[in-house]
Amino acid sequence: MSCELVERDLDAYLDRELDAESSAAVREHVRTCAACRRQFAQREALTRLVRGAPYYSAPDRLRARVFAQSTRSNSMRRVLTWAAAAVLVLSVGAGMTVWRPASSRGNVIANDVVSDHVRSLMADHLFDVQSTDLHTVKPWFLGKLDFSPPVVDLASIGFPLVGGRLDYVGGRPVAALVYQRQKHTINVFVSPERDDPSTRDLVLTVRGFNLHHWIHDGMSFWAVSDLNGAELSEFASALQAP
């Protein structure tokens, strides 16, 4: 691979957006070419620097205003829904079966996982135990759950453990482990594997959040975050093979 080609692909390589074959070609070239290696190092440094740029959180008054607007528009929608339902009942009359959308258990769980994640961020209840030390987090679950969740710290690859709490998924208590990637929070829900086999190894997006699900050593894991798919995959594979 020539330097020109590598230069073209270097950013995509850095962003893990290249396919495996091109990635390998860039990696090999960068290993042997000092100039491209230097350029790559500069790009990495730049990326680190920019990720430290300010993150502007929404001011409380904006949050309050938007919330008030949505509540108003909801009550309007509810009135319209009732009106539509009334029309339907009148026109169809008796003898109608209730229709419900099919939903697998995996879907229900995935929805629960996202709702828990959102709640943990909105209600400011991210931790019951706040610690970056896995020897503090792991024992904390003792006596609170009938299983012991595996806890690992991935700070060395940029996903520090920041704490844990108890939560509920599918009506069952689970261990929630909290990790951080820059400004993004990752919740990992761990419980003994009791779900049906069809929910094994899933990668999906629900309401804008990325989810990874896998089974390991008889435990079920759900990782959820607003982190992009590639980085969450990296996190999920690191957790599976620490």
Give the DSSP letter of residue 98. Answer: P
**Is the alpha carbon torsion for 149, 115, 211, 60 positive or negative?**
negative
Q: Which residue has the tokens 């828990």?
A: 116
| Residues within window 196-215 making contact with other proteins, judged by CB under 8 A | 205-209
Give the tokens for residue 178.
């909290």
122/34 Cα distance (integer angstroms): 47
The window from 66-74, 126-134, 151-159, 214-222 that contacts other proteins (CB under 8 A) reads 66-74
Q: With respect to other proteins, which residue has the nearer C-beta, 78 or 200?
A: 78
- Give yes or no for residue 123 binding other proteins (CB under 8 A): no
Question: Which is closer to other proteins, CB of 114 or CB of 190?
Answer: 114
Query: In the bound complex, what is the minimum distance in angstroms from residue 122's beta carbon to other proteins?
Result: 7
The secondary structure of residue 55, as a DSSP letter, is -
Please, what is the minimum distance in Å from the beta carbon of residue 231 to other proteins? 6
Q: Binding marks (x or -) toward other proteins, 36..55, rule CB under 8 A?
A: --x---xx-xxx-xxxxxxx
| Residue 2 lies near other proteins (rule: CB under 8 A) | no
Q: Residue 235 in contact with residue 154, Cβ under 8 Å?
A: yes
CA angle 50, 52, 57 (to 5 degrees): 110
* Window 77-116: residues binding other proteins (CB under 8 A): 101, 103, 107, 111, 115
Q: Running DSSP on this structure, what letter comes out for residue 19?
A: -
Tell the residue number behind the tokens 């919330």, with chain if given. Answer: 67
Total of chain residues touching other proteins, rule CB under 8 A: 56
Q: Collect all residues with Cβ–Cβ distance below 8 Å to 20 and sequence separation of at least 6.
A: none
Chain residues in the site for other proteins (CB under 8 A): 8, 10-12, 15, 17, 38, 42-43, 45-47, 49-59, 61-63, 65-67, 69-70, 73-74, 101, 103, 107, 111, 115, 118, 121-122, 181-184, 205-209, 226-231
